[in-house]
Amino acid sequence: MALVDLDFPEQLERFGVDTTLECFNCGTCAAICPLIHEHFPRKIIRYAQLGAKDRILQESDELWRCLHCGLCTYTCPREVNPGELILGLRRYVVANWRGTANV
Amino acid sequence: MVDTEKESEMQSERKVGVYVCRCGGNISDHVDVERVCEQTSKIPGVVVARQDMFMCSDPGQDLIIEDLKSGTIDRVVVASCSPDLHEMTFRNAISRAGFSPYVYEHANIREQVSWVHHGDKATDKAARLVAAASAKAKQLQPLDPIRVEAKRQAVVIGGGIAGMRAAKDLATRGIKVTLLEKSPFLGGRAAQLDRVAPTGELASDIVLELADAVLADPAITVHTCAQVTESEGYVGNFTLGFKRQPPESQEDRDRIKQMAESGKGIGEVIPFVGVCPAQIPETSEEHTVEAGVVVLATGIKPYTPRHGEYGFGDFKEVITLPELIKIMGKKKDTTTFLELNGRTIRSVAMIHCVGSRQIPGIHEEDETGYMNEYCSRTCCTATLQAANIIRETYPGTRVFDFYRDIRTYGRGQEELYEQAAKNKVLFLRFEAAEAPVVTQNGRSNGHPLSILVQDTLTFGEEVEVPVDLVVLAVGTEPNNVSDLAGMMKLPVGADRFLQEVHPKLRPVELSVAGVLLAGTCQSPMDMGEACNGASSAAVKASSLLTRGYVELDPFVAEVNMDLCAGTGKCVEACLQEGALRMVEIEEDGKKVQRAEVNPALCTGCGACVAVCPENAINVKGWTLKQYEAMVDMIVSGEVAA
């Protein structure tokens, strides 16, 4: 069970992502993604919306699968820029490893 | 009445034209159309029997028109689809040829023959039905439509946005209007709103604009605190009795109190109350009003959640959307957090579809056994509008939106959904069978309540949201109009909304002629749609009234005074109150009782025909003699194909 934490999408703004909550979970990004890997990137973006930090850290290796092809960003109907969101989440994860995520 | 000998002589001179439709193969694939024509042309009186690929097409109709104009025929039978579809098409064609549209008889050989029978049997049945129609056609009279005088007055029931719009539009067309409103205030449900989506205008401004226009119009008489008690009559000539009485309901008393507290008076708008146009009566008084048409604008009320539904009644932090709108509308502060009864609201949950889109087996019926299976349509937009107002006015307060589907239909409304996402509202989606659960919050994070949901956007994982306030986006239910529906014999749908004749082609008319629908008494709709409906109802009403008379089909009972013995059996059997009565007339110097028909009220059901021991009463266009001729033909061996 995930406990919602809306501080997290705000925290992500410091990692260069301010569109987290604009995503309406349509799944176009997951459909167009050439990785065809589970629900990537839709699922990890949903975790970011909920502020489910544990899940993001647990499944953080997912973030490094991304090829930066840009198809999700190109097709996103809400112009959320999912590719950039993945990069922001990577920066968060790296900072977390360094112990600087909350700085 | 034409005497029998002369009538049969005339019948022998009648020239019936029969037109059999192939319906592009729909009929002719199963019915041997040529054979039907051949058999039919043998029937005495039938002078032509033609067939066409599509009788309803222009060339098909022209066949009839040419034969009528050339004097070849003077009675018409078309054998085609159901009369429901094209009877009027062919009647109109006959009118265009300069004949009475009532010299027409229809035989249904598609739905009742080719779609359900095959082979020789189909052809045989078609031939018999056509023969029966031809036999009846020989006896048809060129009837005149019933003309009823129509009073150029209208009654509008309900003084909400739709009722006021309809009243004003009728008055603009020169029709005198009486507007009856149950409560002491004009404005209805619209007056209970704050800023309306998608424009953000104040509902009170809109209500005042319309109320001012209505109250300033000398053609409109407004009666508040008025309840319809009686209704009689028919299109063109309704008489309604109504009672003006001191308000009794708690809601009315609360609103009167709010009016007193506001310091505002007659004709001024009070937000969340409405416009009080006149003194509130202290004693009960009864009135009657006459009208050619009645427009119903009886409106809706918000759904009241059951005790315990999403914690409603159990937790004081659970309120409805109309309550939230009212609370926020009255606050004029801009603080970081929304404050409610001294409590700081840091997070709000909004739950959609409460009392809407209910599913048998999942949701419970109300105490009367009803269930709201329909979508209330306006609550998604209203919820998102409220969410945006919270986020934009109280930026510290977070909003969580629990939905089944977002249905922000209509111009400028999807944008509110997008705006809510930009305003950082978090959406969570649940299935009807797995509704969110509102509980006391067990964690020590300062939020009194917690919501647990199987969030389908997170692939069914359980998500917990701690909140300070839960807002239920309640649906709408029609106001109870069972007394009106009983009095005026109005059709009510399974969803308890009033039911139009046809949802697409005749959307504001009821099956009761002269009674029209305006606004949400018909279905949930927003203010723009309600005004649309009201304006359409006003146009329909004025097109009924401006000619000064209304024409009705002549298929009503007719008494043969030579035969009537005054038994009164027909009056006893009559199902339509007022359609038949006994009158005293003088016959050979003696006063006798005879039956008399009110053609405007008679529905032509024939209950009187069946009970008359003297065969003195008949329904015009469907007389017993005509039926006998049809039956004779059906059983006759000669017409078999």
Q: Residues B503-546: pLDDT tens digits?
A: 998 999 998 889 999 999 999 999 999 999 999 999 999 999 98
Give the pLDDT of residue B512: 87
CA–CA min distance A50, chain B (Å):
8
Say yes or no to pLDDT of B1 above 50: no
CB contact under 8 A, A2 and B424: no
Domains of chain A by residue range: 7-98
Token pair 């002629």: residue:
B513
Phi, psi of B296, rounded to the nearest 5 degrees: -95, 125
Transcribe B435-454 into DSSP letters: --EEEE--SSSS-SEEEEEE
HSE, side-chain direction, 13 A CA sphere, residue B632: 10
Say yes or no to pLDDT of B8 above 80: no
Which of B443, B459, B466 lies closest to A43 in CB terms? B459
pLDDT above 70: percentage of residues in chain B? 98
Residues 6+ apart with CB under 8 A from B338: B328, B344, B345, B348, B390, B393, B394, B397, B469
Residues on chain A touching B466 (C-beta within 8 angstroms): 3-4
Say yes or no to pLDDT of B426 above 70: yes
Considering the domain delimited by B309-476, tell me its CATH architecture: 3-Layer(bba) Sandwich (3.50)
Longest dimension (CA), chain B: 101
Q: Name the DSSP class of B114.
A: I
Whether the CB-CB separation of B191 and B204 falls below 8 Å is answered with yes
Cα–Cα dist B572/B582, whole Å:
10
Whether the CB-CB separation of B346 and B397 falls below 8 Å is answered with yes
ipTM, two decimals: 0.95
Cα–Cα dist B172/B183, whole Å:
25
Fold of the B153-299+479-549 domain: FAD/NAD(P)-binding domain (3.50.50)
pLDDT in tens, B582-617: 999 988 889 999 999 999 889 899 999 999 999 999
Q: Peptide bond preceding B101: is omega within 30 degrees of 0, i.e. cis?
A: no
Whether the CB-CB separation of A72 and A28 falls below 8 Å is answered with yes
Whether the CB-CB separation of B64 and B89 falls below 8 Å is answered with no
Residues 6+ apart with CB under 8 A from B369: none
pLDDT in tens, B64-95: 999 999 999 999 999 999 998 899 999 999 99
Longest dimension (CA), chain A: 35
pLDDT band at B2 (very low <50, low <70, confident <90, very high): very low
Say yes or no to pLDDT of B4 above 90: no
CB contact under 8 A, B424 and A50: no
Whether the CB-CB separation of B607 and B575 falls below 8 Å is answered with yes
For B1-142, give the CATH class: alpha beta
Total beta-carbon pairs less than 8 A apart between chain A and chain B: 53
CA–CA min distance A3, chain B (Å):
5
Task: Give the tokens for residue B455.
Answer: 């969030």
CB atoms under 10 Å from CB of B578, counted, come to: 13
Residues on chain B touching A50 (C-beta within 8 angstroms): 426, 458, 463
Judged on CB neighbours under 10 Å (0-12, 13-18, 19+), B332 is: exposed
Considering the domain delimited by B556-619, tell me its CATH architecture: 2-Layer Sandwich (3.30)
One fold for B309-476 and B556-619? no
Q: Does residue B363 sit in helix, strand or coil?
A: strand
HSE, side-chain direction, 13 A CA sphere, residue B334: 5
CB atoms under 10 Å from CB of A51, counted, come to: 22
Say yes or no to pLDDT of B636 above 90: no
By residue count, chain B amounts to: 641
Cα–Cα dist B260/B428, whole Å:
43
Domains of chain B by residue range: 1-142, 153-299+479-549, 309-476, 556-619
Rounded to the nearest integer, the mean pLDDT of chain B is 94
Taking CA–CA distances from A44, the nearest residue in chain B reads: B458
Question: Which residues partner with B226 through β-bridges?
Answer: B244
Nearest to B452, CA basis, from B380, B390, B402, B406 = B402
